[in-house]
């Protein structure tokens, strides 16, 4: 009853830019955080960037980045649209992977149930 839909993946050359989007929809009471995780071939899924949403006790807009993307990637959100964006600049080959959207929220079949939800993933391939 909660769905995360990603878009914006594709092919990009080293040094190029790409923008990912993810929108949460369905029976949502409150969203606490939204973020992006990357899974490279043969590796585990790891955090790329995360942002607090208006449902967080810390308030919306607090961000956290993996060291490998600091200064190159930027995460932002539109709380009214339940949407998070990942602006990827100066991409490198090691940024290649499937990017999954994640949301920590309350909702679903019971409005008070809190849990993590995942999107289906979007492929980003950096090639030259």
Q: If DSSP states are collapsed to H, E and C, what string results for 63-84?
A: EEECHHHCCCEEEEEEHHHCEE
pLDDT at 59 over 90: no
End-to-end alpha carbon distance in the chain: 40
CB 101 within 8 A of CB 28: no
pLDDT tens, position by position, 4-34: 999 999 999 999 999 999 999 999 999 999 9
Residue 3: its H or E element: strand 2-7
pLDDT at 112 over 90: no
Give the pairing type, strands 28-39 and 97-107. Answer: antiparallel
Output the CA–CA distances (angstroms, integers) from residue 22 to 15, 43, 66, in the order listed.
23, 23, 19
Higher-pLDDT residue of 128, 10? 10
């Amino acid at each position: 009853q909660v769905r995360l839909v990603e878009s914006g993946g594709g092919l990009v050359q080293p040094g190029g830019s790409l923008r990912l989007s993810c929108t949460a929809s369905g029976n949502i009471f409150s969203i606490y955080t939204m973020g992006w995780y990357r899974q490279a071939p043969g590796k585990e899924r790891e955090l790329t960037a995360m942002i607090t949403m208006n449902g967080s006790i810390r308030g919306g807009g607090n961000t956290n980045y993996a060291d490998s993307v600091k200064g190159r990637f930027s995460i932002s959100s539109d709380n009214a649209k339940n949407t998070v964006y990942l602006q990827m600049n100066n991409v490198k080959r090691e940024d290649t992977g499937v990017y999954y959207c994640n949301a920590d929220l309350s909702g679903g079949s019971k409005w008070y149930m809190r849990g993590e939800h995942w999107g289906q993933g979007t492929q980003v391939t950096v090639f030259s």
